[in-house]
Amino acid sequence: MINKERLVENFCDLVMVDSVSKQERLMADIIKEELTRMGYSPKEDKAGEAIGGNAGNVIVKIPGTINAEPLLFVAHMDTVEPGHGKVPVIDGDIIKSDGNTVLGGDDLAGVACILEAIRVIREQNIPHGDVYAVFTIAEEIGLLGAKELDVSKIPAKFAYVLDDSGPVGSAAIRAPYYNQFSITIKGKSAHAGLCPEKGTNAIYAAAKAIASLPFMGRIDEDTTCNIGVINGGRSRNIVPDEVTMEGEIRSIYEDKINKYTKHITDTIEKVATGEGCTVKFDINRNHDGYNIPEDHPVLLLMKEATDRLGIKLSLHSTGGLSDTTVINNKGIPAVDISIGMTNVHCTQEQIAISDLVKVSSLLIEIIRINGEKGAVV
């Protein structure tokens, strides 16, 4: 049913196009051309202008041939560095890079599988409802394209984002809420040798405050915390009057992220003020998390599709962020399905041809079964 040669050729063609974040122009044009050739009318939004990139998100509607729930599929067009001059090397069932760059299967494999699924439902006249596909920009540098996406024109019931690693059939159904924080501890400077007693050492206060935290790293199976950057002090012989600490907390559950964020601020405030310092907190909620129940229609549909294909469905949490978080935050329930890519963001990145075929087949089954169900009144 899948045209394997065509799928592999299309994937390799995409890999050979440079599309690092904010430089997706050529990739966007190629995808739009291919969709136009198939008879559809892809649109490009203004996300590129908004973020300083050279292309926008590409959005296409595949009009339904029957009445069924509208679906959305998402993959990102950009790749990480080193991503210039990518050369796909086929070694049996494996496609990898020549070792000098990433392969860019993250996420061009997602793009290629969506395009192949669209070709097949069209060629084989598989009855389907409206299908939307969005190819986003700048996912790798903070989900910037997805954040600019106007979903009011995409009336999809739910969405599948193709951007997870792991075996095909697995999906991330929970991802964390995300708080980032910057904490500034202010003390008082003084000459370190002549009159240290006139100073208040902000580095000492910061160190004591951090050491007083009962947790760092993994707090529990749903929650992590990290202080990743510390800056402070001016010279060996000056009592330091200021330290900033930058960090993050992630949790699948909102009550937990709130609880641990409060714990951190309360502890640091108490210890640092006890050392005679003042503290300023700058805490931002960057993203809300998502937590899709296992009996949600987006997963029931995926389960039927994997069952039909004899693929094992496995559902998990992720501590990472992807466009899935943004799509959920914008109100369309979405899961992040695995496309089989391995060693992503490394020059050893690779993907199996058999997995590209499986993922395309999975999308087609999802679309087909959704069509068989018809519209839910």
Structure tokens at 73: 């599929």
Cβ-based nearer residue to Zn ion, 277 or 351 = 351
107 forms part of the interface with Zn ion (CB under 5 A): yes
Q: How far is CA 162 from CA 73, 169, 280, 340, 341, in A?
A: 7, 11, 40, 10, 10
323 counts as binding Zn ion under rule CB under 5 A = no
Q: Are 230 and 201 spatial neighbours (Cβ–Cβ below 8 Å)?
A: no
- The CB-of-109 to Zn ion minimum distance in angstroms stands at 10
- Cα dihedral sign, 317-323-327-333: negative
- The residue annotated as part of the active site, out of 106, 107, 116, 139, is 139
Is 372 in the active site?
no
Among 34, 69, 106, 130, binds Zn ion (CB under 5 A): 106
Whether residue 92 contacts residue 75, with contact meaning beta carbons closer than 8 Å, is answered with no
Task: Pick between residue 280 and residue 345 the one whose CB is nearest to Zn ion.
Answer: 345
Count residues binding Zn ion (CB under 5 A): 3
Report which residue type is found at 111. Answer: V
Min dist. Cβ of residue 26 to Zn ion (A): 19
Exactly one of 69, 78, 130, 241 is catalytic; which is it?
Answer: 78
C-alpha distances out from residue 282 to 50, 52, 183, 270, 323, Å: 25, 26, 6, 17, 25
Structure-token match 């969709």, residue found: 35
**Closer residue to Zn ion in complex, CB, 127/320:** 320
| Closest CB 330 distance from Zn ion, rounded Å | 18
Q: Specify which residues 314 forms β-bridges with.
A: 170
Contact flag: residue 78 with Zn ion (CB under 5 A): no
Q: At its nearest, how many Å lie between Zn ion and the CB of residue 106?
A: 4
Q: Draw the binding track, 151-180, toward Zn ion (x: CB under 5 A; -: no contact).
A: ------------x-----------------
Nearest distance from C-beta of residue 344 to Zn ion, angstroms: 7
Nearer residue to Zn ion within complex by CB, 24 or 163:
163
Is 78 known to be catalytic? yes
- Alpha helices by DSSP H, the chain: 4-15, 25-37, 47-51, 105-123, 144-148, 202-212, 254-274, 297-309, 323-329, 353-373
Give the active site residues: 78, 139
Q: Please report, as ranges, the residues that interact with Zn ion according to CB under 5 A.
A: 106-107, 163
